[in-house]
Amino acid sequence: MTMRTIIAAALAACVIASAAFAQPRDAEPATRAANEAMTRALDFSDRAAFEDAGRGFIAAIPDGTVPGPLPVPAWSMRPYDFLNGAPPATVNPSLWRQAQLNNIHGLFRVTERVYQLRGYDISNMTIVEGDTGLIVIDPLLATETAKAALELYFAHRPRRPVVAVVYTHSHADHFGGVKGIVGDQDVQARRTRIYAPSGFMEHAVSENVIAGNAMSRRAWYQFGSYLEPGPRGQVDTGLGRTLARGTLTLIPPTDLIAREYETHMIDGVEVEFHLTPGTEAPAEMTLFFPQFRVLNMAELANQTMHNLYTIRGAEIRDARAWSRYIQDSLDRYGERTDIVIAQHNWPTFGRERIATYLKAHRDIYKFIHDQTLRLANHGHTPAEIAERLRLPASLAREWSVRGYYGTLSHNAKGVYQRYLGWYDGNPANLSPLPEVEAAKKTVEYMGGATAVIARARADFASGQYRWVASVMNQVVFADPTNREARELGAAALEQLGYQTEAGTWRNAYLMGAMELRSGVPRPPGGAAATSSVNIDMLKAVPLDLLFDFMAVRLNAEKAEGRRIVINWTFTDTNQTFTLNLENATLTNVSGRHAADADAAFTLTRETFDRIITRQRTFPAAIALGEVRFSGNPLKFGELAGLLDEFSPAFPIVEPRPSAP
């Protein structure tokens, strides 16, 4: 998960308690019937996962509550007390089971010298005891939760220094809490080494920066950021409870794993690293501890089907490579492994069960890959493939690969997109009308909104919620002031949320229902409020990427006919750039200056960071002598006036305003 995803969810959490949202409705008869059918279809008497999740339990933080910098706790399990008991009709019983398992939190002894802190973030923190200190794997998302988790460990184990930190991959929930367990000075003094896969820094700070605003808004839907926890609200993400709300930090790694397999001796512990790039993250690796017979699969094999495409938006992941890397792990470590752990969910114990578990994960991604492309090669479209695909019974009955986080439907569409893109080959879909115009024509052809709503009510009564949600979306896009259509569309989305097994889909459906009824929530402080919580991340963003993001903000209509050339010199990083505005396009060139520049600025990267996070205005920095210039300094202001500001709360389930 990227920094913007995390920040957006944390800001949203500040206002949940005070927001005046319309109350959700109860489950309809069709939803009750669907959830009862799910209860009959699966073997809920299988309690092996509950035994694994509770095995080795030592202690927990009371109520799982950790204070944080926001008006709400950084983390608390208390709002999820409702998960005790049988599932209500408003929650898919399989998702309810997964949520109950993710509710088991605390410090756990995995085996001798290997411990996990689970249930204090969406991810796990793993601790391996070395000869003199601790090896900490993935220090959670926030410093507050990471520090509290480590203190829980110290309350029951000897207090020893952290001699090594391992980032298994480049998502923020696996490194953001690092300064809760070590400081910059520990790393600079080489008292602590930090290990990460090759390409970690590039991907940790750059993934989705360019599309960050859109991704953060969509993340509200994936994680249910404005939903109250409860039987009619947010229940779980499938991968873990939710996201911590705290301080995000980053310390760059000291040691990069660059070869496919590398063995390192860390404080007397032999660790074999296996690089697995292009799987769940662009930079990722697994770890094997031969002396403990423990295999850490990072995020290649959790207790859920994962995302090949994530609905918040990201690059499509390589299902074929993902499957192959799991097979490599089976081949290389299978006979030497007694316990498999991961950086989400709970462990799997015993070689026979581990083999079944890893083979299921190997095969789920290869099945989706191969069968999607088989049907695509028959000419089927993404929507047709998603409807047609069914898992073989042997995979469908494996709890660990059920669709709690990823789903068969959207993963199949992701595979199609990876190979064939968005276009399904039908020229009628090559350049369709925009949503609003198409919606107005559709509603007109169907006899007008009143007739459409009347028919849709009958379909709602018969449980055709997918169709009702779709057709009410058309009515709302044709006329967003139609309250009857908004309420009926919300009711349909709500029932879909109550039925779905995927925590992410439930969140998305219920967020859509909430916004149809109550409008788009507004994050406190707007976009500027994010600047103070990601300074460590910002320092690591390459300057060329920051200039590229500036180019994404350029309003081409306003820039038409303008030409501006600005030279930049950064004294602390010894970098030079030229920004060139021409043909309504902003480009940058590193390593040289333009002879015909309108202006030239000399400053430090630190000053530049303060300016772009709005801690200092550009004119103030010039006045203070932090920026030196030649030429016309007003040219930067002219360029800045051509840049759009992105709203962190743009509409999704209703028409968006025309492009600025």
Query: What is the tens place of the pLDDT at every residue in 307-322?
Result: 999 999 999 999 999 9
Mean pLDDT on 458-486: 98
Residue 368 to residues 317, 320, 395, 402: CA-CA distances in angstroms? 12, 9, 12, 13
Nearest in space to 74 (alpha carbons), one of 63, 84, 83, 82:
63
Q: How confident is the model at residue 210 (pLDDT cuts 50, 70, 90)?
A: confident
Please check the confidence at residue 18 and state whether its pLDDT lies above 50. no
Over residues 606-619, the mean pLDDT reads 90
pLDDT category at 5 given cuts 50, 70, 90 is low
Residue with tokens 């939710």, as numbered in its chain: 242
Q: What does the pLDDT read at residue 524?
A: 59
- Cα–Cα distance, 174 to 178 (Å, whole number): 9
The tens digit of pLDDT for each residue in 429-440 reads: 999 999 999 999
* Span of 347-351, 406-410, 518-522, 601-605 with lowest mean pLDDT: 518-522
- Closest residue by Cα to residue 355 from 321, 324, 323, 326: 326
Identify the pLDDT of residue 1.
Answer: 55
Query: 560: which residues sit within 8 A by CB, 6+ positions away?
Result: 584
* Predicted confidence band of residue 528 (pLDDT cuts 50, 70, 90): very low
Start-to-end C-alpha separation, the chain: 29
pLDDT at residue 532 is higher than 80: no
Distance, CA of 343 to chain centre: 14
420 contacts 376 by C-beta, under 8 angstroms: yes
Residues near 604 by Cβ (< 8 Å), separated by ≥ 6? Answer: 570, 571, 572, 573, 626
Neighbours of 97 (CB within 10 A): 23
Mean pLDDT of the chain: 93
Task: Retrieve residue 487's tokens.
Answer: 């309420």
In the structure encoding, which two tokens stand for residue 130, read together?
A: 């070395």
Q: Read off the pLDDT of residues 374-428 as tens digits, 9 standing for 90 and up.
A: 999 999 999 999 999 999 999 999 999 999 999 999 999 999 999 999 999 999 9
The pLDDT of 181-190, averaged and rounded, is: 96
What pLDDT score was predicted for residue 613? 83
All structural domains of the chain, each given as residue ranges with its CATH number in brackets, are: 3-19+53-414 (3.60.15.30), 435-499 (1.25.40.880), 542-640 (3.30.1050.10)
pLDDT at site 501 = 98
DSSP H helices, 389-524, are: 393-396, 408-420, 435-445, 449-461, 465-478, 483-499, 503-518
- Band of the pLDDT at 526, cuts 50, 70, 90? very low
Contact of 109 with 330, CB cutoff 8 Å:
no
At what angle are helices 93-102 and 29-41 packed, to 10 degrees? 70
| Dist CA 3 CA 457 (whole Å) | 42
Half-sphere exposure of 473 (CA within 13 A, CB side): 16
Confidence band of 2 (pLDDT split at 50, 70, 90): low
Checking if the pLDDT of 15 tops 80, the result is no
CB 16 within 8 A of CB 528: no
| Residue 187 CB neighbour total at 10 angstroms | 18
Tokens representing 604 are 């430090």
Question: Which pLDDT value is given to residue 12?
Answer: 53
CA 342 to chain centre: 17
Mean pLDDT check: name the lowest of 43-52, 271-280, 521-530: 521-530
Reply yes or no on whether the pLDDT at 192 is more than 50: yes
CA distances in angstroms from 647 to 144, 222, 304, 526, 546, listed in the order given: 29, 18, 33, 8, 18
Maximum CA extent, the chain: 76
Exposed / middle / buried, residue 81 (Cβ in 10 Å: 0-12, 13-18, 19+): exposed
On the question of pLDDT at 6 being above 60, the answer is no
pLDDT, mean of residues 157-181: 97
Q: Give the model's pLDDT for residue 17.
A: 42
Q: What are phi and psi of 325, to 5 degrees?
A: -65, -35
Crossing angle between the packed helical segments 449-461 and 483-499, to the nearest 10 degrees: 30
pLDDT score at 660: 58
Question: Could you tell me if 38 and 27 are in contact, meaning their C-beta atoms sit under 8 angstroms apart?
Answer: no
Is residue 476 over pLDDT 80?
A: yes
CA 238 – CA 99 distance, rounded (Å): 7
Q: How many Cβ atoms are within 10 Å of 483's Cβ, its own excluded?
A: 11
What are the tens digits of pLDDT across the range 110-142?
Answer: 999 999 999 999 999 999 999 999 999 999 999
pLDDT in the model for residue 206: 81
DSSP H helical ranges for 189-254: 200-206, 212-223
**Under 8 Å between Cβ of 582 and 563:** yes
Q: Which two tokens stand for residue 336?
A: 């030497």
Residue 13 has pLDDT above 90, yes or no: no
